[in-house]
Structure 1
Amino acid sequence: MNADVRRYDLLQDAGPGSRADGAPFPRPPAASATAPPPPVRLRIEGLRVRGAGGDILKGIDLEAPRGEILAVIGPAGAGKTTFLRCLNRMVDLDPNLAVSGQVRLEGEPLIGRPVDLALLRRRVGMVFSVPIPLPMTIYQNVAFGLAMGGVPRRRHAERVEEALRAAAIWDEVKDRLDLQARRLSGGQQQRLCLARTLALRPDVLLLDEPCSGLDPISTAKIEEALQDLKKDLAVILVTNNVKQASRASDRTAFFLFGEKVEHRPTDALFTTPEDPRTADYISGRFG
């Protein structure tokens, strides 16, 4: 059987917490009574966003530690994308939104004070739902951010390969790095955009529906890459795909109308949700 076809079949059969090959994603070991908690990269405190029509986010409290993937789920209009855009101050691009509360990156407050936005967005990298490769070669797409970030040119080749490997695309493009990036498939373009973000070695990785337009095989490759990446990063994954959240995340937060309804370990939230609204959403009764 063709390997990609087999991979597709396994993805369809995979249940909550399962990889595309049918095996469970590795979970972090249970914390002992004396083990320290993983270091928190991002701490969100009372985050509120108000627009012309009222509150878009209503006092969100969350943490994103290194070593975990936090999934944020909820129907359209729940505030998920606005939440992500607050974390690297992209929300500043909309002058009609008022933001209050606080976001702390390794203890440093980001809201309500001047920050170096270019540096912040290197440290808190973001991958969007639609891949937007630059009109350059594969190599140049990844090296572009390195040049802008002041990385010496002699280090570019090493960092480009490192990022492409981390995004699980190196083996597919290593012999054609001079190919125009827009000639790649949609799934490859998305992994290239992931590599472009990873090349800057961020502390936090934000993903806004990164697999929404991808086939199951490309989706599986991205999910598997995230399991390796979380060892060094805090990862926040916004997705409307509850099956993806159940497979790929360690903790899940359910948003509804700008409110954080529930936030628990993923296995617990999907098997024994505490709030009936969560149960209704993950069972498909609405959304």
Structure 2
Amino acid sequence: MAMGRLADPAAGIIDMVGGGALLAMAAMAYVTASRGFGMPFRGYRAAGAPEEKFIGVVYCTCQGSIHLMRGFQLMAPPSRGLYLPDYDYADFILLCPLIVLDILFTLKIPGKVVSAALTALSLFMAACAYATEAPYQWFLFALGLVFLIVLFARVQAGVRQRLSELPSAAVGAMYVAMVSFFGMWPLFPIVFLLGPRSANVLDRTSFAAIHVVFDIVCKGVLSLALLRVRAFMETIGWYGYSLTSKDIRERLISRLSDDAKAARPTSGGHAL
């Protein structure tokens, strides 16, 4: 059900602006995740920061890059090869499970594999529905919606259980994250139904603008809110480590020591 490779400069500009915003938020997330772990720009792990802190950096960077590329293609459609506007929702298959994992890791909620699989299945059904026609489109859409409802029930149960353990200072950021997730994700199916390949109420420009706003909230805002929650929980040692000034100093000294050992010539070699 191809829409044709027609240039849409307005939609392209919207996608590019959204992509730039998401990349900026990814940079903010990286700096935020690295804070308290020595030198933030010295390698991916940021001198000892747990790797799950950077999940938000990954999905914001990927989504921002995809929006930029899609924007370029909408402004000057290629004559052949991959055309991203024909594959809307396909990127969600990989990125949305990362969002769910980010929530589960931050709140230490079990069942990560099952929840990530449910997310991937739901978005796979959505991507397939977007690429086909009725009546198959509606069957796939309904099946994806079922997976999404089951996912919401699982995550909501875990979040409710953990909310009582959060300090009051972290509750506000947690509510922002949950509104970004539970409040915004149900709007995607509605936009799907109104989109140019379903009811055709929304044109390509409106469709792109809505998705850009949704992605900024559901990915950029969500990732920063979760990092703020994690920052409060780190101070009380909820994850098994604490960020006291002594701990920060020891991490920094350890990193500098590792760098010095790496720079030391091996036996039998000669220093330059």
Same fold (TM over 0.5): no
Name the TM-score, length of structure 2 as normaliser.
Answer: 0.26
- Between Structure 1 and Structure 2, whose CA radius of gyration is higher? 2
Name the TM-score, length of structure 1 as normaliser.
Answer: 0.25
- Higher-strand-fraction structure: 1
